[in-house]
Structures are given as C-alpha cells and as structure tokens.
Amino acid sequence: MNQPNLFQKYCIDACAILDFWEIQNKTRPYHVKVKSFRVIWDYISKEIEEGSIILPKIVADEVKLVTDNPELKEWLKKHEKRFCDHDDSTEELQKIVSKYNIYTKIKGSLADAVLIAIAKTRGLTVITQEIYVKNQSMVSPKIPNVCEEFSVKWMNLPEFFEAEGL
C-alpha cells in the first residue's frame, strides 16, 4: 500500500488520462492529444512516478478497460507499482456512496467515488475533465459537483497546466 506523503498534490481521473490518448468528441469540448502535448504527458508521468500525482488503482483499471491504445497500455503496465489503493479512504468512500449509491450500481463508476475519497482523505486536488453542471444528477453525478459537495478541490487539465506552470 502506498502511504500518503507530503509531496502528494493531485489525484488524477481516468478522463484526464484518456484525454491525452483517446478522442472523445462526444463528451469533451477539446482534446489535448499526447502527440501534441508529449512534454506535458511526460511531466504527468514523472509526477505519478515520483508520487505527487496519485493514480488510484481502480482508476487505472478503468483506463485499461476502455483503451485500445498500445502505448497507453504499456505505460499502465510499466507504472502499475505506483498506483495506490484506497484502504486509507474507506470512511470517506462510505460517505460518498451513501449519498450517491449509483456509484455502487454502475460498472466503472465506483472509480469516481474512490478518486474523490482518496483526494478528501489525503487533502489532494482532483484533476478531471468532467464538467461542473448547474443541476447535479443523482443518476449521473459529475466529479466536480461531488468534489464541491464534499469539500474537495478539483481542476481540469488546463487549470492543472497553469497551476504547474506548464
């Protein structure tokens, strides 16, 4: 199990990773493409390796399920020892799924709750490409909305780029 440390700053969502590797025109207003932003992807990769960006194992597993990109699959395999469990976040996870029990009913959605729970427990900022919505849905909750409800900081990739001076 990876232990929290003083250098951890962020917890990254599957959609933020996939935005570099997969074209998601239906759900994203833009796409950053790894071939155009290789320096930034390399920075994110280094920060995951060094532990300042946390990639929850359940989120990495979600990425593995949806990607066909061989380079991303190889990257996931190479870095799997750095992925963190959520053992230290079960109390926060329970609070989130109690409010949004949909997270326990839809395949893959539990990863969102775990992501937020880890960030809450460790005082991290979530990096996500999901968009805040004015009227939150109990059937399809958005990460930014749930983060705000549970007092967890969040940002999208461009805000992360700016925060890190990239």
Q: Using one digit for the tens of pLDDT, what is the confidence trace for 54-64?
A: 999 999 998 99
Q: Round to whole Å and give the CA distance between 124 and 53.
A: 9
Question: Where does the pLDDT of residue 3 fall: very low under 50, low under 70, confident under 90, or very high at 90 and above?
Answer: very low
Instruction: Give me the pLDDT at residue 106, please.
Output: 65
What is the pLDDT of the chain when averaged over all its residues? 85
Q: Look at 31 and 153; give whichever has higher pLDDT.
A: 153
- Reported as a single tens digit per residue, the pLDDT across 6-22 is 567 999 999 888 887 76
Residue 1 banded pLDDT, cuts 50, 70, 90: very low
Asked if 129 contacts 28 with a C-beta cutoff of 8 angstroms, the reply is yes
3-state secondary structure the chain: CCCCCCCCCEEECHHHHHHHHCCCCCCCCCCCCCCCCHHHHHHHHHHHHHCCEECEHHHHHHHHHHCCCHHHHHHHHHHHHHCECCHHHHHHHHHHHHHCHHHHCCCCCHHHHHHHHHHHHHCCEEECCCCCCCCCCCCCCCHHHHHHHCCCCEECHHHHHHHCCC
CATH topology for 10-163 is Rossmann fold (3.40.50)
100-128 mean pLDDT: 88
Percent of the chain with pLDDT over 70: 84
Binning pLDDT at 50, 70 and 90, where does residue 31 land? low
Across the range 67-94, mean pLDDT stands at: 90
